[in-house]
């Protein structure tokens, strides 16, 4: 058993009401006091490859607080910058936007219609947002306008309230 696993097992076996959470540091400034997380414990738990949300629940803080402490301690690097400077062959610098989200799926209308027909066949009460989530779970990232157009092709236009 590694040290990380032993620490996790001991931490989980402690009753939740008696478990030490993050400490509060009063800095004398206005606003909310700083949350202090023991960096040795955070370092050991970061090695288990747990998410910031899981660690935040363990420490009783927000996931951004955990990520901030990880970055300050050098346990985690910053994410990819959305804009990057690239030098071309002529020596000129250009700003290029590198999206951090995955690209939209290049799914054809026929494939989307088949998927949507299957989803709505299983769950006829699904709205556009729930259909979008179901498509995301299947690995397809599709915009709402594409889903609405497919829904109109498969099931016809929406009925008005007067009908």
User: Cβ-count burial of 63 within 10 angstroms (0-12 exposed, 13-18 middle, 19+ buried)?
Assistant: middle
Q: Has residue 27 been placed in a domain?
A: yes
pLDDT exceeds 50 at position 78: yes
Q: Has residue 163 been placed in a domain?
A: no
Looking at residues 127-154, what average pLDDT do you find? 91
Query: Is the same domain home to 8 and 59?
Result: yes
Sign, CA dihedral 105-111-116-122, equals negative
Is residue 78 helix, strand or coil?
Answer: coil
Residue partners of 146: CB distance under 8 A and separation at least 6: 112
| Parent domain of 50 | 3-72
Looking at residues 17-31, what average pLDDT do you find? 63
In residues, how long is the chain? 163
User: pLDDT class for 11, splitting at 50, 70, 90?
Assistant: low
Q: Has residue 93 been placed in a domain?
A: no
């Amino acid at each position: 058993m590694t040290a990380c696993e032993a620490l996790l097992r001991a931490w989980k076996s402690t009753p939740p009401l008696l478990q030490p959470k993050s400490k509060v540091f009063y800095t004398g400034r206005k606003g909310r006091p700083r949350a202090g997380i023991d960096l040795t414990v955070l370092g050991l738990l970061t090695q288990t490859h747990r998410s910031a949300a899981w660690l935040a629940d363990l420490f009783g803080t927000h996931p951004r607080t955990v990520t901030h402490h990880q970055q300050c301690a050098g346990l985690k690097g910053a994410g990819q910058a959305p804009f990057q400077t690239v030098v071309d062959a002529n020596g000129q610098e250009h700003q290029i936007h590198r999206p951090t989200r995955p690209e939209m799926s290049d799914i054809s209308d026929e494939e989307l219609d088949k998927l949507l027909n299957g989803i709505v066949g299983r769950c006829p009460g699904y709205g556009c947002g729930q259909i979008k989530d179901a498509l995301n779970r299947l690995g397809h990232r599709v915009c709402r306008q594409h889903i609405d157009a497919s829904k109109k092709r498969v099931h016809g236009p929406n009925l008005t309230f007067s009908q």
